[in-house]
Amino acid sequence: MSELFEPIKIGNLELTGRMVKSATVETKCSYDGYITDELIQYYEEIAQGGTPLIITGATSFNAYSRGVPYQISADDDDKIEGLKRLADTVHQYDAKIMVQIYHTARQASLEPVGRTDAQAPSAVFEPTLGVKPRAMSIEEIKEAVVLFADAAERCQKAGMDGVQIHAAHGYLISSFLTPHTNRRTDEYGGSFENRMRFLLEVYHAMRARVGEDFPLILKINGSDDLPLRKGLKTQDLVKVAKRMEQEGIAAVEITAGHYESCTTFERGNWNGYTKRTMTEGPGQSFSWLRRNLMLLCSPIVDYTFNKVAKFSEGFNLNYAQQFTQALSVPVICVGGLSNMNSIQNALDRKDCHMISAARAFVADPYLYKHLKENATGPECDYCNRCFTAAGVQPIACGNEKVNAQRIKMLQVESPGECSSNPSAA
Ligand SMILES: Cc1cc2nc3c(=O)[nH]c(=O)nc-3n(C[C@H](O)[C@H](O)[C@H](O)COP(=O)(O)O)c2cc1C
């Protein structure tokens, strides 16, 4: 039996295996972030598949942190009840669940979330969405730290098994770490220690609220390279992770990329991506001019994405390996890992201790069970249709072939419950 199915601990949290459902924004809450039955059903299926650890989609805590409507929010105590229903449901199946807490910073279209401005470390233009944020004041930074901690405490009160601090993908914490987006000259910018200050303050504020035993884990880029701009190198990011391990982080998940680096965290097939984004996805809220310019340039944009962010199996393993060598806490790798051979090879080579997957769970919520039983389930081909619709439509696989496989699977595995609507699962 593969090591994938052997127990492992994150801090004191015991997991039945080494597979994680990585954060995928669900777009299944109420507009303002209350948990719905639809969202609970979505996670119940993944838990039924025996998935050892589920990480929720990015969860916001105030208007500025919110990236898209219908995402989970932990901005108020009245959200605890819904979060508790979610945790209790997942726990019925011996699965564990952590909430990913983030602040979207400059990576959000403002109109869909009802805002007119965006916060960031510095006023650096975000080219893919056309957002020029404003630099946060010291008071706003301090306020965000407290709100991150409030949200973590609510998750703990709801019975969640831990919290993942999102320090990757160019969102607020990541943009404090990266010199291109952090041009501050005060104690939050400049030196390595100063750029880490915000992450350290968030971590310590959370820790003070949740106590020593509650696992706080980190999602971090393995490479922060931005074309022609000052991103962090893998060795710098390993240094960040090492420091966070010393502070008490219980595990790290390795990814890579930002919106403006051709979304390399979503390496896959980009054919038709730009057109779909403008007509069915977040591009619908762009200005007429921006949308039509993008449509006009779509063959070039798709071509560039296919060149820069081409799929390969386990596309972040080369970074994860360097973190695994440096750290003692479990290193989780996400990115193009859904096939048993590539998973086994990664574990055998000790590139990482745990495997995480996002799109493959959208295609097949029973992925872990199928891997364990050596059975063929609906297989993700990384077409990126789920990603194109993220934050606009409820999360679902948009690939007809994969959905047909899934309906067939439901007919065989649970004949009475078969639904012909792929997004119902
Ligand atoms: C629809 C969708 C939504 C996502 N939402 C999040 C998110 O909320 N937080 C996050 O850290 N990553 C998010 N991601 C990125 C995934 O967690 C993961 O890092 C990426 O998809 C690569 O893993 P994969 O190849 O297994 O899909 C999202 C990806 C997709 C496809």
For 12-35, the pLDDT digits (tens) are 999 999 999 999 999 999 999 999
Give me the percent of the chain exceeding a pLDDT of 70. Answer: 97
Minimum CA distance residue for ligand 1 atom 11: 23
Instruction: Tell me which residue has its CA closest to atom 13 in ligand 1.
Output: 24
Q: How far apart are CA 222 and CA 256, in angstroms?
A: 5
Q: Residues 85-105, buried b or exposed e (16+ Cβ, 10 A)?
A: bbbebbeebebbbbbbbbbbb
For ligand 1, atom 15, which residue shows the shortest CA distance? 24
Mean pLDDT of the chain: 94
Q: What is the pLDDT of residue 146?
A: 98
Cα torsion angle, 186, 189, 192, 197, sign: positive
Q: Does pLDDT of 387 surpass 90?
A: yes
Q: Determine the atom of ligand 1 nearest the C-alpha atom of 22.
A: 17
pTM above 0.85, yes or no: yes
Q: 416 alpha carbon to ligand 1 midpoint, in Å? A: 31
Instruction: Look up residue 102 and give its DSSP letter.
Output: -
Average pLDDT over residues 61-70: 97
| 414 pLDDT tier (thresholds 50, 70, 90) | low
Neighbours of 26 (CB within 10 A): 23
**How far does CA 233 lie from the centroid of its chain?**
21
Which residue CA neighbors atom 12 of ligand 1 most closely?
23
Better-predicted residue by pLDDT, 406 or 284: 284
8 A C-beta contact, residue 225 and residue 137: no
Ligand 1 binding pocket mutation candidate from 46, 265, 338, 342 (most atoms within 8 A of CB): 265
Q: For residue 196, how far is its CA from the centre of ligand 1 (angstroms)?
A: 24
- Where is mean pLDDT largest: 221-225, 405-409, 418-422? 221-225
pLDDT at position 424:
36
Residue 407 phi/psi, 5° resolution?
-65, -40
User: How many residues are present in the chain?
Assistant: 425
| Residue 423 in this model has a pLDDT that exceeds 70 | no
> Taking 70 as the threshold, does the pLDDT of residue 62 lie above it?
yes
Distance from the alpha carbon of residue 265 to the mean position of ligand 1, in angstroms:
7
Q: Is the CB of 386 under 6 A from ligand 1?
A: yes
Give the nearest ligand 1 atom to 56 CA. 8
**What is the rounded radius of gyration, in angstroms, for the C-alpha atoms of the chain?**
20
Any ligand 1 atom below 6 A from CB of 357: yes
Q: Give me the CATH code for the 3-268+309-398 domain, please.
A: 3.20.20.70
Contact 150, 206 (CB under 8 A): no
State if residue 104 touches ligand 1 by the CB under 6 angstroms criterion: no
Cβ 155 vs Cβ 101: under 8 Å = yes
Q: pLDDT digit string (tens) for 174-225? A: 999 999 999 999 999 999 999 999 999 999 999 999 999 999 999 999 999 8
Query: DSSP of 267-317, one letter per residue?
Result: -B--TTHHHHHHHTSGGGGS-HHHHHHHHHTHHHHHHHHHHHTB--TTTTH
* d(C-alpha 364, C-alpha 425), whole Å: 10
Which atom number of ligand 1 is nearest to the Cα of residue 360? 26
- Output phi, psi for 93, to 5 deg: -110, 15
Q: Is 390 in the pocket of ligand 1 (CB under 6 A)?
A: yes
pLDDT above 90 for 261: no
- Six-digit token pair at 394? 């409820």
Atom of ligand 1 nearest to the CA of 58: 8
Nearest Cα neighbor of 393 from 301, 297, 296, 283 is 283
Q: Which of 22, 25, 27, 99 to mutate to test the pocket of ligand 1 (most atoms within 8 A of CB)?
A: 22
Q: Is the CB of residue 184 below 6 angstroms from any atom belonging to ligand 1?
A: no
| Beta strands in 127-214, from DSSP E residues, in sequence order | 134-135, 162-167
The domain segmentation of the chain, as residue ranges, is: 3-268+309-398, 269-308
Q: How far apart are CA 319 and CA 237, in angstroms?
A: 10
Q: Match 């072939």 to its residue by tokens.
A: 401
Beta-bridge partner residues of 164 = 100, 217
Under 8 Å between Cβ of 160 and 83: yes
Residue 188 Cβ contacting ligand 1 at under 6 Å: no
